[in-house]
Each structure stands twice: as structure tokens, then as C-alpha cells.
Structure 1
Amino acid sequence: MNTDQFLVKSAIKHINNASFTWQTPSNIALVKYWGKSNPQIPKNASISFTLNNCHTITTIEFVKKEKSEEVSFNLFFEGKPKEEFKPKIAEFFKRIQEYCPYIFEYEMTINSENSFPHSSGIASSASGLSAIAMCLMSLEQELNPDLSVESINKKASFLARLGSGSASRSIEGPLVVWGEHPEIEGSSDLYGVQFPFSINPIFENYQDVILLVDKGEKQVSSTVGHNLMHNHPYAENRFKQANENLCKMSKILQEGSIKEFISLVESEALTLHAMMLTSNPYFILMKPNTLEIINKIWEYREENNSNICFTLDAGANVHVLFPENERENVIQFIDSQLSNYCQKNHYICDVAGFGAKKR
């Protein structure tokens, strides 16, 4: 794998102070990745819808200091110091120092806020780490103005991946593939790439309503869950299945086979959680209301000949996916029935989006 392309090679300008703000989205995988090797290399390729409304807004202020051997930063989340987040960010900076040596020359103040509950299974690490990566790349562009937009996005995805694998899929949109796959030209284990084919109109502006079954922090983190795949009895078959499913999903998205889309997306979601149920030690992230919602979706789909379906991330919350032309009816169904299974009846209306935005 060629990581040399991400090293800083050009002459660097001198900048004393700078501040950049980026809004980057979460994403929801249609074909999941669960299991990785160091450094953050996926065991199978995955594809996701980039979201629009579930996002992180991050500002990083850079102030020049004496160069040292330690990365110096302060972290504030939603206006308050967040010491418990610092170890993960410190580890991220350690992983990227070879590719961003300029971080040793600045005192960084990171201010971040989410439009959704963090650590609850809506990929907050994906949006959070990708936002930091885009701020770093804005600084790098100031230091080296010759960088192209394409190279900035590619390196941002590469950097974000070193903090959170799924963060590699939050730089662009609306469909992003991460992981080397023979049928996806340009795909790589090192960074995400936009889905290279035209999609059927039925999948444009695809809707995602996230039902907040449990806003609390997950009992088992994704990092721990990924590690449990190393000695998992079904791991190798799962990795093979996922890569085969990506082939199927590519064809489905191009041809508009929405019934096949529903079947594959739901199967992928349940397979992800089946891996958790059969890990050693085993664990369950779904809640009773997660299952209630799934059954209600199945009933509604059958009774109304609807194209509604669900998917799950590594958590209890349910993503309700459906085409734009069903929005009015599905929102009414969610509001009248499914919201009853959410904490305080809360849900988030989202839609497939186009990635990072500078603010």
C-alpha cells in the first residue's frame, strides 16, 4: 500500500495563526464492515450513504509555538472541556504525525459540537474525526497552496481513517466505498472513494429517519467489537459475504432493484448484530424497542406495499430508509407509531448528502 503519497513533500510556508471550521456528516453503511487489522485496515469493503443533517461542526484554532516532540491541544465539546475524549484524539495525532509533521509546531484548540447524541451508535466518531481531518487539511493547504481539491479530499479521508475507519466515508457523498474491491475502480483500504457509477433515480435523495431508541453511550464500543472479530468462528465467511454483497449492491444501485435493495440492506444489518451475538464474549446492542420497531416496519411494508426498510449501525437506534416519493406517508407512520418506541419520542429526519462543508 502506497502511503508515501500522503507525506508532506513540498516547501511549507510560514503561518503564525489560523482558524478553520468544517461541518462533516455521519454516514450509514449499507454493506457493513466489522473487523479490521492495524493500522485501521478493513477486513472487507463497505459502502455507505453519506448523511446530511447528522453532522459535527468543528473549529480548530492553530497558534504557532516552539516546535516540540509532543502534540499540544485543548479539546472542548459543546462548549465544555472534554477530558475523556482526549486520549482518542491524542492517539489519532500520534498515528498521523508522520503525514502531518506541522502539528508539532502549533498549539491547537479544538471546539466541536454534534447535531445528534454522541456515542449512541450514529457514527459520531466518523463525523468527529473527519471534521478534524478537514481542518488539518485546510491548514496544510494554507502551508502548501498547490494542493488540489482531489488530493485534499483523498488525504483527509486517509487521515480520518486512522482515527475511525468509518470516518473515511464521511468526506464525500452521497455514496462512498471504503476498502479495496475488484469491481470498484480506484477503491482502496487507505481511503474512501465515491461510488463510481450512475445510480438509478429511485436512490437519489434517499431518506433516512433515525429513531433514537437509546441516546445513551453503548455498553460495548465499536473498537472492542471490531477486535472480537479476530478469533470469531464465522469471521472469514462474513468477510467473504460482505465483499460479495458489495457486488450485488453495486448492481442494485445502478439498476434500481429496490426490492433487492431492501432485502440486502436488512440482511446486512442483522448479520452485523449476529456477529456481536456470536462473539466471545458475546454482547447485544439492540434493545427491546429496536425489535418492536423492526416488526412494525415489516408489518407496514406488507400492508402498504411500501419500499420502507431498516438498517442498524453498532447500536440500538434504527435507521429507517425509504425513497423520497414515500416521504409524506412514512413520516406520518413514524410519527404516529414508531416514535412511541423512541426515547421521548425523538427521531431525526435525514437524507443522503454530499459530504464535508467548509463554514
Structure 2
Amino acid sequence: MTWNGRWWLLRALISLPLGGLGGALVAGGCGSAEPPCGEPWNPCLITNEDGTSNGVCAGKCVIQPMDGFYDPRLLWIGDADDPEPACEDLTGFDLQSRTTEQIAPRRSFRFRTLLPGDEPCSKCKCSVPSCSMPEIVAAHSHASCENTPAATLRPFNPPRNWQGECTSPGTVPAEEFSAIWIAPGPDGSCTPSTVGEPSPPKSPAKIAVACSGLVMNTWCPENGEVCMVNQQETNVPPGWRYCMISRYEGPRECYPPAGPGERPRFSDKLTFYDQDLERSCTPCVCVPTRTPRECVARVSAYSDSACSEGALLGTTTVTAGEVDRCLRPEEDGAALGSIRAEWEVNELGLCEPAGGEPYPTTVCCLPEPAG
């Protein structure tokens, strides 16, 4: 019987009531004379055990993609100077319309590889960590430093780059303040930045083009398989592979290789990069390599302008990068005339730069046929 005769016979069978089929057509094939699904196509009527029909799979049945991956698609890999194929030119014979149609017309990705020594991203560096004294101090009219609508603040800031020595920004009369508000010192931890300009990458060793077509979840006889419609081997030119592409940038794991007698899995792991390498560079970060930095300053306030011990109003500790402090004078009726500070803890952490690399995209493919 010719292929056309088989096709029309199948259409006639599909039109029959399911009960009239007598269970002759079951999942997995339509007799020993027919090839199994997806090798290279499946012209078999698929009937489930409950009697329902999933239709005809004219295409390539493959294992369904793992979570975090797109539907399987066709991937062409070639040298940088090879002419890139157009997805629209991928055509094949459609069993239902019986015409030649595009099988994967949408270009979904365009990748490249990198050569050894390529550095397409700017290098990362980290600032030297430091501890800095508080920079913002104010006389507060509220004893708890609560910022109510009626509260007033009078600046009493130390000089720029203050090292804690006695300083007198002025004098605040006792009747104009009830507490001293001290903001925490700046967080002097490692700060990442870039240095230099990225070097233009060399010509890529390989380029890759991904084309996507119709994928159906219910057209294959086995659970856990999907049908790449009309994308069977007879319709796919040499140089193309069946692959799934990660939805997320960064390294991912592929399926483990299939065991003896098992259907092939997407187990060949390939790594590609976006054509616009600078756009896909990982951000620079600073990774601690020693005990985290801790900066704790003990700040004292005085009623005179010389930080005399007999004029001490009170003392509090301020930790860099944390909450502010409210210092209430131990005695009422004294003016604010000066402040001084000293380090109670001055521990500098160390860090190393990381990042500044192009995001990789993981692509998992079916193994190439032997030979």
C-alpha cells in the first residue's frame, strides 16, 4: 500500500466510532508494518486505554523538557564565517495538509561561543574597606529624638573627614535642646566597581541559531514525551540538532544520559553566550574573605567647647551602617558645646572582586547519531 493509501485509510479509521476499532489500535504503534513514533514520523492513530484518541503524531517524539527550559527546538551550529540559515527555509511535508510547509519558522535565539582569552566584560575591583566617624549630629528638641511635627533639630555636625578629635561646631543653649541625635557612620565596606574598558572579543569559534516550531504535548504515545510537529529527521537538513534551551542565564544541569534501550534524552550539554556580550555581563560584587567589618565609635558630648571631663553630658556608641542613636544629657540645664569620639571597635574586613563575566546559557541536546 502506498503512503497516500495509508494516510486515507487512517483518516477513514479516525472517522469510525472508537468502539468499532475493537482495540486494534493502541498506544505505541499501529502494527508491526509501521515505524514507531518519531522514527522518522508516526502515522499511527494513538488510542489511549480509556478509548480516547490523541490524534496523529506527524513529527519527532522527544522527552519533555525539564523545568526551567523552553520547549524543544531545532538548533544549528556552525563556524562564524558560515552563512547562517534562515528559519523560514526549514520546510517539510505536512501529513495533514499534504503540502510542503515551514516546520520551525521562528528564530528564537542567536548565540556565540567564546575563544580562550576573550574578556568581553569590564574587570571588577573592590574599594578598600574603612571605618568612618559619624558625619551627622544634631541637637534635638525632643528627649527621645522623636521626629514629631513640633520637633526641631539644630545641626551640630563635626567637620568633614572627622577623626574623632574634640570639635566645637558652636554652642546650643540648654533651653533649645533636650537630646543629641547622632546618625550612624557611613558603611565603609567594600564597594564594587568596574575598571578599564572591555576588550573586543575575537571572532567567535562557533555560532548557533535556534528555530522553534509547533510542539504538542498530547500527540505522542508515551507519557513524558512531546511531539515536535513535522520536525522528524526526514524534514531536517544536516547540521541541525534537537535541543532544549534554559530559560535562565547561568549554568544548569542537563538530563543524565539514557540507559541501554531507553529513548534518547537531552543529555549533551553545550554552553553559549548572547551575541551582545556586554549586555549580558554579570554584575560586579565583593566577596568577603575575612571576618566581616565592624566599626563601633564611642561618642561623647560636653557642655563646654574644650571637651573637658568635668563638662561631660553623656556618652553613647554608634555602629556604622546600623540605626541612629539618641543621647540624652545626664543633667538638665546644661548647654551643648563640643563632641569627641574614639573607636571602640575598628575591624576591617577583606574582600575580593567577583563577577564581570558574560552570562552563559545552557543548551541540552539529544546525542548526535553515531557515525
Q: TM-score range by the shorter chain?
A: under 0.3
Rg larger for: 2
Structure 1 or 2: larger strand share? 2
TM-score by structure 1 length? 0.16
Structure 1 or 2: larger helix share? 1
